[in-house]
């Protein structure tokens, strides 16, 4: 190799999780798990690779053309590393459509890959909580998903001042485009794309996008007026049987009756990028001036399994990524300082003591439910052993030498208090438990 | 689309985890997690994609040439989907070699991909527990890893009659090859590959492999003799300062003194496929006649980070895959019948009752730590709702109609006992808890 070494950094846009990073990730996904399981959601999982066709047909074009990692296997199958979970879960639901008891309340915690330029809040690999209700069309499911989101935020100590939940409806959007702008279906599609990206591009780019896509100046003017209108004003432009109006009104009155409305607001510009959304759409925004951005979002898709089957399954759900959320938690100071390390006790070792005695002591502690490490290198000086215990953050060190074995005792040391005691083998476990609790 | 639908099966050799499959996976990885955390191991994680170079240099040639999924990203980086965790963790250790407090006791639970012909116990994607000690050369670490494996098996109810732990040592193997067969280093490499694969190929293929690789008939005859020899006989052929002999003897006497030897045996044919093993190697075998095969294994590698740095770090560890282990658990009947579903209570709904009352009841139950589902479609007949509750396995259903709201009560139904009671809103939680416990 002649002195050339490989780089030790992870692949661009991906992360290594050292134990302290992993503790953070585990802390926050286990909190999320608790909330969704209290709502009775069941966990599922799928493969990291899927057939490329799953994404080619349905996800937004940007995702397909630019952001998917895809390649051929040796059997000439075109594969993709999943960039999102919805196509996977749609496939799974379609596969057992006749056996599953609907509605399903499912969640997953999965890693996803997208080829992006890494930047704040956006990496190539991220982990995502996905939560969905499948097989239920009514707005009670939409309401449940929204209230679950508020509970999720609350579980992390996030109050209504830190974020808001902006809600709209694709049917409502389409109705407004059709009735007010007299837009044709292809035009609606173009407008939705431009509106969705508006916050990320300049005003000029936005207007050029519309003009270049055959949206007339009159329509653009109408669109500006639409954005200046209230929900009630927009409703007044639509026919009495507009399903979009009925859904939004029903949803907001339930949110009001249950007090969740203080976290929620109507926002006509919320669309979500994916083409498959058909009804309610929503997005959670960080309200802090340092991080004013979308944290995550989701919506309702009424033709979830259309790629796989003639049968129709409606679903609503969201994907909640760890990268943006971690930024949110940091900015709002919601990460506890002491996500404790695994080990509770370190067993110091002496060279002249039979090693089996340490193995036995360690096993005794494990049986008592106390996680522990033996200091493996028995020839190391005690100073070195204690330095290690300190660096690793073990609250307690136990010493067992030939004298202690003879006396049927151990010496236990409370690291923080620098206190040390000889205790009999019959009593040390109780003493230790007391120290570890306090 | 003209009636053509996409297939709903997952990519060949990968699995969908429906909630019941996921419960099984979660059950068994959380058991493993408990055991390793009692030993004070800390969890880490890494990216699903790595630079292809990490595998090209060190893993066995078969793995590199045939089994790795690799491709180029748009920036012309050659990437691989990780087929194993060791290169990732080696990179991570090398990257912080000067900051980490050694020894490290690390574990991870990760999915890995290999391009294999799917068959019993072998899939393209599997999940693996990886457990390692880094930065400790002595056999105390080897002993700890082996005893941890026995505890891991014990946690699942696997006793010594169901499996055995076969142990050898690469240094010992090399010493025997050099001293007894007078084999040159390249010959030792060839012989180790043939011996490693011996159980998977015919006797003829094995002998041809050796002959075709320049192993002389005399050497092959010696090799046969070696395999017919006991550990003591082999030791007698080696110089007194053989490190392989010292390590194996030290390890086995510790295993004897602690009673672990009843699960362990010396087996000269254990080598492990990867080129990076240098010391102790081991393999866990299922002893059942139906599944007599290797479940998993591991060993010591003394030049873990050689690809990345001049510094030396020794490690020992193993990777424990879910596919083979699930077969093992099934064959030995070690999977509990009732891995319970998430939900405990279903709230039945009536169309004439304000929906906010259900939202409130659900929230009340969640606050009391009782996971629950609201039946979302309020227009569904009660028979349909109860059928759903039964299919989903909810032990209890709660009814709340207008009468109950007026009376400040709920009706609770014990599904298995077909027992139903009206209880006041002040007392139903306690009653429910009693039912859910029993």
CATH number of the domain enclosing B233: 3.30.930.10
Q: What is the pLDDT of residues B304-325, one digit of tens each?
A: 898 899 999 999 999 999 999 9
Contacts of B151 in chain A (CB under 8 A): 366
Closest by Cβ to A69, choosing from B42, B73, B113: B73
Which residues lie below 8 Å from residue A271, measured CB to CB, with a gap of 6+? A168, A170, A173, A192, A195, A196, A277, A281
Residues A424 and A374 in one domain: yes
Q: What does residue B112 show for φ and ψ, rounded to 5 degrees?
A: -135, 150
Q: Quick check: is B98 in a domain?
A: yes
Q: What is the pTM of this model?
A: 0.92
Predicted pLDDT at B129 = 98
Which region holds residue B247: left if phi is over 0, alpha if psi is between -120 and 50, else beta? Answer: alpha
Beta carbons of B18 and A96 less than 8 Å apart: yes
Closest by Cβ to B46, choosing from A17, A42, A94: A17
Beta carbons of A125 and B48 less than 8 Å apart: yes
Residues A140 and A275 in one domain: yes
Predicted pLDDT at B388 = 94
Contacts of A22 in chain B (CB under 8 A): 42-45
User: Which residue out of A23, A28, A49, A387 would a mutagenesis test of the B interface target, given it has the greatest number of B Cβ atoms within 10 Å?
Assistant: A49
Which residues lie below 8 Å from residue B30, measured CB to CB, with a gap of 6+? none
Predicted pLDDT at B2 = 47
Predicted pLDDT at A119 = 84
Q: What is the mean pLDDT of chain A?
A: 92
Burial class from Cβ neighbours inside 10 Å (0-12, 13-18, 19+) for residue A333 reads exposed
Contacts of A372 in chain B (CB under 8 A): 38-40
The domain spanning residue A432 has which CATH number? 3.40.50.800
| pLDDT of A60 over the 70 cut | no
Q: Quick check: is A196 in a domain?
A: no
Residues A432 and A309 in one domain: no
**Smallest CA–CA distance from B253 into chain A, residue:** A356
| pLDDT of A116 over the 60 cut | yes
More confident of the two residues B64 and B386: B386
Q: What domain range includes position B116?
A: 19-331
Residues A369 and A288 in one domain: no
| Final residue before a domain boundary, out of A297, A331, A365 | A331
Q: What is the pLDDT of residues B164-205, one digit of tens each?
A: 999 999 999 999 999 999 999 999 999 999 998 998 899 999
Beta carbons of B43 and A22 less than 8 Å apart: yes
The residues that bridge with B126 in the sheet, in sequence order, are B112
Closest by Cβ to A44, choosing from B17, B141, B377: B17
Predicted pLDDT at B117 = 86
Burial class from Cβ neighbours inside 10 Å (0-12, 13-18, 19+) for residue B322 reads buried
> Which of A81-95, A108-122, B2-16, B335-349 holds the top average pLDDT?
A81-95
| pLDDT of A284 over the 90 cut | yes
What mean pLDDT do residues B367-378 have? 94
Contacts of B322 in chain A (CB under 8 A): none
Contact by Cβ (8 Å): B123, A45: no
Rounded to whole angstroms, how far apart are CA atoms A34 and A333? 21
Beta carbons of A371 and B57 less than 8 Å apart: no
Rounded to whole angstroms, how far apart are CA atoms A26 and A20? 10
Q: What is the mean pLDDT of chain B?
A: 92
CB atoms within 10 A of CB A81: 27
Predicted pLDDT at B57 = 67
Residues B379 and B254 in one domain: no
Task: Provide the 8-state DSSP code for A200.
Answer: G
Which region holds residue B142: left if phi is over 0, alpha if psi is between -120 and 50, else beta? Answer: alpha
Task: Provide the 8-state DSSP code for B10.
Answer: P
How far is B216 from chain A, CA to nearest CA, in Å?
32
Beta carbons of B140 and A378 less than 8 Å apart: yes
How far is B235 from chain A, CA to nearest CA, in Å?
24
Q: Quick check: is A252 in a domain?
A: no
Which residue reads 């694969």 in tokens?
Answer: B197
Beta carbons of A14 and B49 less than 8 Å apart: yes
Q: What is the DSSP string of A75-94?
A: T--EEEE-S-SHHHHHHHHH
Number of H helices, E strands in chain B: 16, 16
Q: Cα A146 from chain centroid?
A: 15
Q: Quick check: is A244 in a domain?
A: no
| Final residue before a domain boundary, out of A331, A360, A382 | A331
Which residue reads 């509970």 in tokens?
Answer: A151
| pLDDT of A82 over the 90 cut | yes
| pLDDT of B1 over the 60 cut | no
For residue A296, what are the CA distances in angstroms to A129, A325, A411, B118? 10, 8, 52, 37
| pLDDT of A1 over the 50 cut | no
How far is B314 from chain A, CA to nearest CA, in Å?
13
What mean pLDDT do residues A215-223 have? 95
Rounded to whole angstroms, how far apart are CA atoms A33 and A41? 9
Task: Name the domain count of chain A.
Answer: 2
Residues A297 and A429 in one domain: no
Beta carbons of B140 and A45 less than 8 Å apart: no
More confident of the two residues B292 and B421: B421
Residues B178 and B250 in one domain: yes
Beta carbons of A113 and B48 less than 8 Å apart: yes
**Which of A375, A325, A370 lies closest to A156 in space, CA to CA?**
A325
**Which of A117, A28, A16, A35 lies closest to A330 in space, CA to CA?**
A28
| Final residue before a domain boundary, out of A331, A354, A379 | A331
| pLDDT of A222 over the 50 cut | yes
User: Which residue out of B2, B11, B130 would a mutagenesis test of the A interface target, given it has the greatest number of A Cβ atoms within 10 Å?
Assistant: B11
Residues A326 and A366 in one domain: no
Rounded to whole angstroms, how far apart are CA atoms A268 and A176? 10
Beta carbons of B19 and A42 less than 8 Å apart: yes
How far is A10 from chain B, CA to nearest CA, in Å?
7
| pLDDT of A244 over the 70 cut | yes
Beta carbons of A95 and B57 less than 8 Å apart: no
Beta carbons of B6 and A308 less than 8 Å apart: yes
Contacts of B4 in chain A (CB under 8 A): none
Band (pLDDT 50/70/90 cuts) for residue B342 is low
Residues B377 and B322 in one domain: no
User: Which residue out of A12, A22, A38, A365 would a mutagenesis test of the B interface target, given it has the greatest number of B Cβ atoms within 10 Å?
Assistant: A38
Closest by Cβ to B51, choosing from A11, A37, A57: A11
Beta carbons of B144 and A374 less than 8 Å apart: yes
Q: What is the pLDDT of residues B197-256, one digit of tens each?
A: 998 899 999 999 999 999 999 999 999 999 999 999 999 999 999 999 999 999 999 999
Show the tokens assigned to A341.
Answer: 């390390």
How far is A134 from chain B, CA to nearest CA, in Å?
11
Beta carbons of A48 and B144 less than 8 Å apart: no
Q: Quick check: is A35 in a domain?
A: yes
Rounded to whole angstroms, how far apart are CA atoms A180 and A237? 7
* Cis status, amide bond into B414, omega within 30 of 0: no
| pLDDT of A289 over the 90 cut | no
Contacts of A50 in chain B (CB under 8 A): 10-11
| pLDDT of A322 over the 90 cut | yes
Three-class secondary structure of residue A300 per DSSP? strand
What mean pLDDT do residues A149-169 have? 95
User: Which residue out of A35, A47, A113 would a mutagenesis test of the B interface target, given it has the greatest number of B Cβ atoms within 10 Å?
Assistant: A47
Closest by Cβ to B115, choosing from A48, A73, A258: A73
**Smallest CA–CA distance from A148 into chain B, residue:** B363
| pLDDT of A97 over the 70 cut | yes
Predicted pLDDT at A420 = 95
Residues A53 and A162 in one domain: yes
State the alpha helices, DSSP H only, in B156-304: 170-180, 185-197, 203-212, 217-227, 231-236, 243-257
Predicted pLDDT at A423 = 97
Residues B320 and B350 in one domain: no
User: Which residue out of A2, A9, A15, A45 would a mutagenesis test of the B interface target, given it has the greatest number of B Cβ atoms within 10 Å?
Assistant: A45
Three-class secondary structure of residue A64 per DSSP? helix
Q: Quick check: is B256 in a domain?
A: yes
Predicted pLDDT at B250 = 95
Q: Quick check: is B210 in a domain?
A: yes
Residues A298 and A392 in one domain: no
Q: What does residue A347 show for φ and ψ, rounded to 5 degrees?
A: -95, 115
Beta carbons of A307 and B5 less than 8 Å apart: yes
User: Which residue out of B59, B376, B380, B436 would a mutagenesis test of the A interface target, given it has the greatest number of A Cβ atoms within 10 Å?
Assistant: B376
Q: In what order do the strands lie in the sheet containing B125-134?
A: B42-43, B104-113, B125-134, B315-321, B294-301, B280-286, B163-169, B264-266
Predicted pLDDT at B341 = 65
| pLDDT of A61 over the 80 cut | no
Q: Quick check: is A161 in a domain?
A: yes
How far is B194 from chain A, CA to nearest CA, in Å?
26
Beta carbons of A19 and B40 less than 8 Å apart: no
């Amino acid at each position: 190799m002649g002195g050339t070494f490989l780089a030790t950094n992870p692949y661009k846009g991906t992360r290594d999780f050292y134990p302290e990073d992993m503790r953070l990730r585990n802390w926050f996904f286990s909190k999320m798990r608790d909330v969704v399981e209290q709502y009775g959601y069941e966990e599922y999982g799928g493969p990291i690779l899927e057939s490329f066709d799953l994404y080619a047909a349905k996800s937004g074009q940007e995702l397909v053309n630019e952001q998917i990692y895809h390649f051929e296997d040796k059997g000439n199958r075109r594969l993709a590393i999943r960039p999102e979970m919805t196509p996977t879960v749609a496939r799974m639901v379609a596969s057992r459509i006749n056996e599953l008891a609907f509605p399903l309340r499912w969640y997953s915690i999965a890693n996803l890959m997208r080829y992006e330029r890494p930047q704040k809040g956006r990496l190539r690999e991220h982990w995502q909580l996905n939560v969905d209700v499948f097989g239920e069309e009514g707005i009670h499911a939409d309401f449940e998903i929204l209230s679950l989101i508020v509970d999720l935020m609350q579980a992390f100590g996030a109050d209504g001042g830190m974020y808001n939940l902006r809600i709209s409806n694709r049917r409502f959007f389409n109705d407004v485009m059709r009735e007010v702008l007299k837009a044709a279906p292809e035009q609606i599609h173009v407008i939705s794309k431009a509106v969705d990206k508006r916050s990320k591009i300049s005003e000029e780019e936005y207007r050029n996008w519309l003009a270049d896509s055959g949206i007339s100046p009159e329509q653009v003017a109408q669109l500006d007026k639409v954005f200046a209108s209230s929900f009630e004003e927009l409703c007044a432009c639509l026919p009495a049987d507009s399903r979009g109006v009925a859904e939004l009104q029903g949803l907001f009155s339930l949110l009001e009756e249950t007090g969740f409305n203080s976290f929620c607001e109507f926002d006509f510009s919320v669309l979500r990028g994916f083409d498959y959304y058909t009804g309610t759409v929503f997005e959670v925004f960080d309200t802090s001036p340092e991080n004013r951005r979308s944290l995550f979002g989701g919506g309702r898709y009424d033709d979830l399994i259309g790629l796989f089957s003639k049968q129709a399954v409606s679903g609503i759900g969201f994907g909640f990524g760890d990268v943006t959320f971690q930024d949110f938690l940091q900015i709002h100071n919601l990460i506890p300082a002491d996500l404790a390390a695994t080990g509770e006790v370190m067993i110091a070792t002496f060279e002249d003591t039979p090693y089996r005695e340490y193995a036995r002591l360690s096993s005794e502690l494990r049986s008592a439910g106390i996680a522990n490490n033996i200091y493996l290198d028995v020839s190391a000086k005690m100073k070195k052993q204690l330095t290690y215990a300190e660096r690793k953050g073990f609250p307690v060190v136990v010493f067992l030498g030939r004298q202690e074995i003879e006396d049927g005792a151990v010496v236990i040391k409370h690291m923080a208090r620098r206190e040390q005691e000889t205790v009999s083998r019959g009593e040390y476990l109780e003493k230790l438990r007391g120290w570890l609790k306090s």
